[in-house]
């Protein structure tokens, strides 16, 4: 069987990773610091990352299609980012007090993603979505949040509902369920689940508008669905119903911000939300997140006054590392590079070539495959129907997807199971050629059994 062959090849080439895992599992649950790093039979431990490649602790070289889960759009260790960080380390690492760098980066973000009229920096995408939801509740005086089945908004309680744990209830009116243990029932009850890319969601928002503070959506559902963009007419209808009913529309642009273009998903789709959340790319490879949007909203509930009324009228937003100068310097360098060079045309063309190449190889090998994505993002679904929603994605053959990813990994292409792939500015034509060569080889071996 091909899977056994691929796993055996992975084990044979990664003995040092296995040794580290056996030690690490005594101190780190699963041997890692995050579920995204976990892999069966054991995780891959990386020693070096430069450009479009990573090298593991055994010295194996991989063409990297994870791209720091989309954060490294310029490639790993871009020279301008490393230079900016080195210079900033000599000035200040963490003074706690404000620096001019956070002002400069906020101005850049606001200029490029113009719906973010004011913003606050935090330290991760999870923090950004959590704070945006809280700000919406403070501004509207309403408590419930609506989110879409299969959308991922980070690891906090309000996010981990109906993402992985989807498929309950009618498709047009899905039920909320926790994605993991430890989520309070009270939070689950305060999250209204909506069907993604389904106009039935518009009726649900209208029906529950009186109790909804916000609707949050991934304009491109990346992780729990797999690189599936929202349909433009659906986004327009969602904008209309939320605007008519005073419900805040939140775009989770942690993936799409500076990935689809300098203006993010709002500019790409031509739909302007009330609030947005960003992370990944805007930090230049360093920890970051930000939430922001309408000036009137941010001024009312985020700007502190240090008055007793703040306890009832304001939404608290702070953090020791928020706006830290290292992430700010890296982010400024990254945005400068993205403005200076035609990155989006380049990575978009490579993304298109990879999607087309995978689809062609699958047809030749006799597999029914849907290759979703947009721009420089892609995902492979072993399915015989178009994937536009979580339920369609759930019907795909996930065992085949795991087999496919392990095949790639065993042959020097880094794309772990269930994660979308990303192209970056450091990928070359030779990288793409090698990716498609290995894809074709893996699919032929899978077909042969």
Q: Tell me whether residue 252 is one of the annotated catalytic residues.
A: yes
Would you give the DSSP letter of residue 161? Answer: B
Q: Tell me whether residue 152 is one of the annotated catalytic residues.
A: yes
Q: How far apart are CA 331 and CA 119, in angstroms?
A: 15
Spatial neighbors of 308 by CB under 8 A, at least 6 apart, are: none
Q: Of 10, 115, 152, 344, which is the active-site residue? A: 152
- Of the candidates 5, 30, 72, which has an alpha carbon nearest to the alpha carbon of residue 414? 72
- Residue 247 structure tokens: 């419900």
- Contact status, residue 238 vs residue 269, Cβ threshold 8 Å: no
- Contact status, residue 200 vs residue 234, Cβ threshold 8 Å: no
Q: Of 147, 280, 314, 390, which is the active-site residue? A: 280
Q: Of 64, 67, 198, 252, which is the active-site residue? A: 252
Cα–Cα distances (Å) from 64 to 219, 423, 424, in that order, read: 25, 9, 9
Q: Tell me whether residue 280 is one of the annotated catalytic residues.
A: yes
- For CA atoms 203, 206, 211, 212, give the dihedral sign: positive
Cite the DSSP H helix spans in 92-171.
100-112, 125-140
Cα–Cα distances (Å) from 323 to 73, 101, 317, in that order, read: 21, 8, 12
Which residues are identified as catalytic?
152, 252, 280
């Amino acid at each position: 069987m091909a899977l056994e062959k691929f796993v055996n090849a992975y084990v044979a080439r990664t003995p040092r990773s296995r040794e580290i895992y056996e030690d690490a599992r005594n101190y780190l649950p699963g041997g890692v610091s995050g579920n995204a790093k976990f892999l069966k039979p054991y995780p891959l431990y990386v020693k070096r990352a430069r450009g479009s490649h990573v090298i593991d602790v055994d010295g194996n070289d991989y063409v990297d299609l994870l791209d720091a889960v989309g954060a490294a759009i310029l490639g790993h260790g871009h020279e301008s980012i490393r230079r900016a960080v080195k210079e900033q380390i000599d000035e200040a690492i963490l003074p706690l007090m404000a620096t001019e760098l956070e002002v400069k980066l906020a101005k850049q973000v606001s200029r490029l993603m113009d719906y973010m009229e004011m913003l606050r920096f935090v330290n991760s995408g999870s923090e950004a979505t959590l704070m945006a939801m809280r700000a919406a509740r403070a501004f509207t005086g309403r408590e419930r949040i609506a989110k879409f089945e299969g959308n991922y908004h980070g690891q906090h309680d309000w996010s981990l509902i109906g993402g992985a744990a989807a498929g309950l209830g009618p498709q047009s009116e899905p039920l909320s369920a926790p994605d993991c243990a430890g989520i309070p029932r009270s939070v689950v009850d305060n999250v209204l689940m909506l069907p993604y890319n389904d106009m039935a969601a518009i009726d649900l928002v209208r029906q529950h508008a009186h109790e909804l503070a916000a609707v949050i959506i991934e304009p491109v559902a990346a992780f729990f669905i797999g690189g599936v963009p929202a349909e433009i007419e659906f986004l327009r209808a969602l904008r209309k119903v939320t605007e008519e009913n005073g419900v805040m529309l939140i775009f989770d642009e942690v993936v799409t911000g500076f990935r689809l273009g300098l203006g993010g998903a709002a500019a790409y789709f031509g739909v302007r939300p009330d609030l947005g959340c960003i992370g990944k790319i805007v930090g230049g490879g360093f920890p970051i997140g930000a939430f922001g949007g309408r000036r009137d909203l941010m001024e009312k509930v985020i700007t502190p006054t240090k008055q007793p009324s703040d306890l009832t009228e304001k939404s608290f937003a702070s953090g020791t590392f928020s706006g830290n100068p290292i992430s700010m310097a890296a982010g400024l360098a990254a945005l400068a590079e993205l403005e200076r060079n035609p990155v989006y045309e380049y990575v978009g063309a490579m993304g298109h070539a990879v999607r087309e190449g995978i689809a062609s190889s699958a047809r030749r090998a006799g597999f029914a495959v849907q290759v979703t994505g947009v721009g420089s993002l892609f995902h492979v679904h072993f399915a015989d129907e178009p994937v536009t929603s979580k339920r369609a994605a759930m019907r795909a053959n996930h065992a085949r997807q795991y087999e496919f990813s392990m095949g790639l990994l065993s042959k020097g292409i880094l794309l772990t199971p269930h994660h979308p792939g990303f192209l970056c500015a450091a990928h070359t034509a030779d990288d793409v050629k090698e990716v498609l060569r290995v894809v074709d080889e893996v699919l032929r071996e899978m077909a042969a059994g």
